[in-house]
Structure 1
Amino acid sequence: MKFNQYAFCLMAALSSNEVVSAPSASLQVAKPNSTLFTDIDSTDDQVVAVGKFGTIVTSTDGQNWQQAEVPVQSLLTAVTIKSDKAAWACGHDATIVHSSDNGKTWQLQQYLPEQGKPCLDIEFIDENTGFAIGAYGMFYKTTNGGKTWKSQFISDFVHPDDKEYLEELKEDDPEAYQDEIKFILPHFNRLLMKDNAFYLVGEMGLVAKSEDKGISWQKFEEFYPGSFFSVNETPDGQILVAGLRGNAFTKSQSDNDFAEIDIAQTATINAILPFKDSTLLFANSGLVHAFDGHQVTSEQLPSGHAILSATIFNNKVIMATEKGLITWGDSK
């Protein structure tokens, strides 16, 4: 599936001036597979990548790409596919779009430019129940395939010193309370759903777990103060989180303590992808790290382009980068 002092994608999402006052159709670009792409996902039959100016491209062979019809020009930051009739993407302006025809055309489900918040990840349990997360604690849930999205405020992440103040404000001045909670939470960058356990990572060292499908959350004690941009499960069942300045940590499913992974390079890590018996970590400066559960080996792409996401399709790793889509390696 699937950043200022953040990784490349979040940086674009928070500082870009591509916000539009009303939805406009995505720009048709001459080389749609060589623009900025922020996320990519695949099924056995298809790949979908999203990025700049509302660009969405699809491919059935991983080599030839077709640009889809998309009703927005907002920067898209995440995409997820559940089936050929159920795919979603999200991005700037709290935009959420949906496709029911193999990604050929997309329909607008949500567009809230007045909020000034980008959606940074979108995930679905099934074709009905999904979550969209983003800047300043953005957290939306749908139970009807995205026809309606309900905003939720995750009070579990409010600093203890602020909880009493917010409760009093909510009772005394509901309007002021709504204004206060708009920006009080950290950015939520990535959501991992594994059976009944959800993991959420974000700004200021946020790593949290939910054991009731997102109803309540428990924060792990801080083990790193910087931002995390990705979380995934390794082939041997560890939870791996990574982010700013090449920092990465793992823990077993039964343990609450994260151990640091020794990575020599300090390029920010944007994405994590299980790969055969190891796990790949994709970073700025074209760096790809392979973690076998014990140690890391690294390789750098000749282009040096920031890698923002990756997927495996037809035994190949296809990467979404700041300058297009790149096929790398062979998973045979």
Structure 2
Amino acid sequence: MFRIIFCLSLMMGSSAFAETLPRPALELPLSTKAIFLDLEVHEAKVYAVGERGIILSSSDNGDSWQQIKSPVDVTLTGISFASKTEGWIVGHESTILHSTDGGATWVVDNYKPEEERFYMSVNFVSPQVGYVLGTDGELWITENAGESWNVTLLAVEDWYQNHLFALEKVGNASLVVAERGGVFYSKDGMSDWQVVPSPYEGSFFGVSSVAEQFIAFGMSGNLYQINSESLEWSKIDTQTDQFLLDSATTADAKSVLIVGRGGIILAVDEKGQLIKKIENKSRVDYTAVAIQGDNAYLSSMAGGITKISISELME
């Protein structure tokens, strides 16, 4: 039986950062060698965010990268664009950055280091509606393009130990995955969040979708297809025990690439079948992946961003 989630009505106003002013990120000649935690493709450009507040963009399919001025020097964990011009970045120290010019420049929308709150990811699904996932079970939702945010606490038991990692939508439904097997579902993505019983107790680090089915992944190679209506689980045999950390849907929307530790790259098709498994000989730990046409961009703990051909990968 589902358990109803405890909801807390708190508000966070736009541009309400504390008197403590952030330090801007240094513009470094080796910024392209930094560790990046999220990648995003937007309007023919690729963006990367990561350690020390570094933001990069590429307008030539990843052949070269330019550092964008960043108003903070904290770790940035997620980036999402709400429209052609509106972009959002989140990170540590309760950081939210906002762009109104398609990612060319960024300003601080929220910065409160005294709260010791980390934001793990951001996902805007329309110009008005966006989600920020945080530590301690906090799911922040805006319905007015970031002018204000409401927070809901999603928790199975110990909310203060339940960090939320990712959110995915299929139609109007939303699925959030979290630490310690935490999975939460809402039919409208706004209210009535319910706990979905998980087949294993380990953390889920990400969730994607293909053919209107959720694909959730986490520790020790655990990978599942979840029916977006019945919420039935089907385990996908990954033939690996590596941690799976990020994913991206291919341009034809027929498969999902999933990456993780030990240089692992998995491809899952629309039927929920594993169709490709590759382990990079360097055993590098991949942190994020983004797809632009036939190109897949991969960031890793070794630093920097690598580009590979998906068609060649699938051969």
TM-score band by shorter chain is 0.7 to 0.9
Q: Within 2, Cα distance between the matches of 1:82 and 1:47?
A: 15
| Deviation for aligned residue 1:257 | 2.0
| Equivalent residue, structure 1, for 2:309 | 329
- Give the alignment's TM-score, normalised by structure 2: 0.85
How far is the alpha carbon of 1:89 from its aligned partner?
0.7
| Structure 2 residue matching 1:204: 3-state secondary structure | helix
The total of aligned residue pairs comes to 287
Q: Which amino acid aligns with 2:278?
A: E
Separation in structure 2 between the aligned mates of residue 316 and residue 274 of structure 1, nearest angstrom: 12
- In structure 1, what is the Cα distance between the partners aligned to 2:280 and 2:138? 34
1:124-163 matches, within 5 Å, as 124-154=124-154, 157=155, 159=157
Cα deviations by residue, 1:249-275 (Å, 9 ceiling, x for unpaired): 112333322121112221110112222
Residue 264 of structure 1 pairs with residue 239 of structure 2: yes
CA contact (8 A) 2:170 2:212 kept: no
Letter in 2 for 1:299: I
SS at match of 1:67: strand
CA contact under 8 A between 2:173 and 2:228: conserved in structure 1? no
Corresponding residue of 2:82 = 82
Q: CA deviation at 1:150?
A: 3.4
Q: 1:252 aligns with which of 218, 222, 227?
A: 227
Contact 1:309 1:319 in 2 (8 A): yes
Counterpart in the other structure of 1:7: none
Partner of 2:218: 243
Counterpart-to-counterpart distance in 1, 2:30 and 2:293: 23
Shift of residue 108, structure 1, vs aligned partner: 0.6
- Correspondence 1:287 to 2:264: yes
Equivalent pair of 2:83/2:126 in contact (CA under 8 Å): no
* Residue of structure 2 aligned with 1:222, choices 198, 201, 206: 198
Q: Hey, what's the Cα distance between the residues in 1 that align with 2:231 and 2:189?
A: 19
* Partner Cα distance (2:164, 2:285) in 1: 21
The alignment partner of 2:160 has SS state of: coil
The two structures, once aligned, show a CA RMSD in angstroms of 2.0
Query: Structure 2 CA distance, aligned partners of 1:257 and 1:124?
Result: 26
Q: State how 1:1-332 maps to structure 2 within 5 Å.
A: 22-61=21-60, 62-154=62-154, 157=155, 159=157, 184=160, 186-234=162-210, 236-275=211-250, 276=252, 277-292=254-269, 293-322=272-301, 323-331=303-311
> For 2:156 and 2:214, how far apart are their aligned partners in 1?
24
1:264-322 deviation per Cα after TM superposition (whole angstroms, max 9, x unaligned): 22111011222243221101121101223223531123433221221112420111222
SS for the counterpart of 1:83 is coil
Please say if residues 208 and 256 of structure 2, whose CA atoms lie closer than 8 Å, have aligned partners that are also in contact: no
Distance in 2 (alpha carbons) for counterparts of 1:280 and 1:158: 29
Gaps of 5+ in 1: 1-20, 163-182
Whichever structure has more helix as a proportion of its residues is: 1
Whole-angstrom CA distance in 1 between matches of 2:280 and 2:74: 29
Q: Distance in 2 between matches of 1:314 and 1:281?
A: 16
SS in 1 for 2:128: coil
CA contact (8 A) 1:109 1:148 kept: no
State the alpha-carbon separation in 2 of the partners of residues 309 and 58 from structure 1.
15
Q: Distance in 2 between matches of 1:217 and 1:91?
A: 24
Aligned-pair distance for 1:43? 2.3
Spell out, residue by residue over 1:205-237, the C-alpha distance to the aligned partner (whole angstroms, 9 max, x if none).
011111122212111112110000110112x33
Determine if contact 1:280/1:290 at 8 Å carries over to the other structure. yes
1-side partners of 2:149 and 2:72: how far apart? 18
Contact 1:70–1:106 (Cα < 8 Å) also in 2: yes
Distance 2:241 2:96 in 1: 33
Distance 2:205 2:84 in 1: 28
Question: Aligned pair in 2 of structure 1 residues 330, 240: CA closer, same or farther (>3 Å)?
Answer: closer
Show CA shifts across 1:156-180 (max 9, x none).
Answer: x354xx9xxxxxxxxxxxxxxxxxx
Describe the superposition over 1:78-109 as per-residue Cα deviations: whole angstroms up to 9, x where unpaired: 11123331111101011110112221211111
Question: Per the alignment, in what secondary structure is the counterpart of residue 214 of structure 1?
Answer: coil
Higher strand share: 2
Give distance in 2, aligned partners of 1:248 and 1:296: 13
